[in-house]
Structure 1
Amino acid sequence: MTDKNTAELEQRINDLECQLAFQEQTIEELNDALSQQQLVISKMQDQMKYVVGKMKSMDKSNLADPSEETPPPHY
């Protein structure tokens, strides 16, 4: 191999190593973001279960009966 070919191959290897390093960093950042989103989703699911449980346990006597309400003034 000539010095020119060797230099070109070294440059290509260096470029590939740089691309690999950036890809590894990007993958790590995406993994961190995904982990954070999963934590938020889990928390929201717990909150939703709580709200659904509260709604199911609400006493119907606390809710107004639509037949007993007077119509709004614009009727």
Structure 2
Amino acid sequence: MQHDPATGGSALERRLIELETRLAFQEHALAELSQALADARIEGGRNAELLRHMLSDLRKVRTELYADPADEPPPPHY
């Protein structure tokens, strides 16, 4: 091991410190990404539930508006 008096440590020690610093940064970034993914999944679940409710409400409104199938307008391709 070479001791560098100017920096107070060997090249190996400096490299180890740099690798530990990078590892700590990567662990922090991974934790942030994990939390962001968890938040996105929760939001996606809320959005899916909201969409289900909206579709249910739309079916109810459509049923009320067109109780008689003869009153329903033709599809757009006619």
TM-score by length of 1: 0.74
* Structure 1 residue corresponding to 2:60, chosen from 50, 54, 63: 50
Distance 1:47 1:5 in 2: 62
Distance 1:32 1:6 in 2: 39
Distance 2:45 2:67 in 1: 33
Aligned pair count reads: 58
Indicate the percent of aligned positions where both proteins have the same amino acid. Answer: 17
Match of 1:12 in 2: 22
Query: In structure 2, what residue type is equivalent to 1:10?
Result: E
Distance 2:60 2:12 in 1: 72
1 or 2, which has the higher helix percentage?
A: 1
What pairs up with 1:1-75 in 2 under 5 angstroms?
A: 2-57=12-67
Distance 2:16 2:44 in 1: 42
- What is the Cα-based RMSD across aligned positions, in Å? 1.2
Unmatched tracts of structure 2, length 5 or more: 1-10, 69-78
Unmatched tracts of structure 1, length 5 or more: 59-75
Which consecutive segments of 4 or more residues in structure 1 shift more than 2 A?
none
Residue 57 of structure 1 aligns to a residue in which SS? coil
**Deviation string, structure 1 residues 3-56 (Cα, Å, up to 9, x no partner):** 000000000001000000000000000100110011000000000000001111
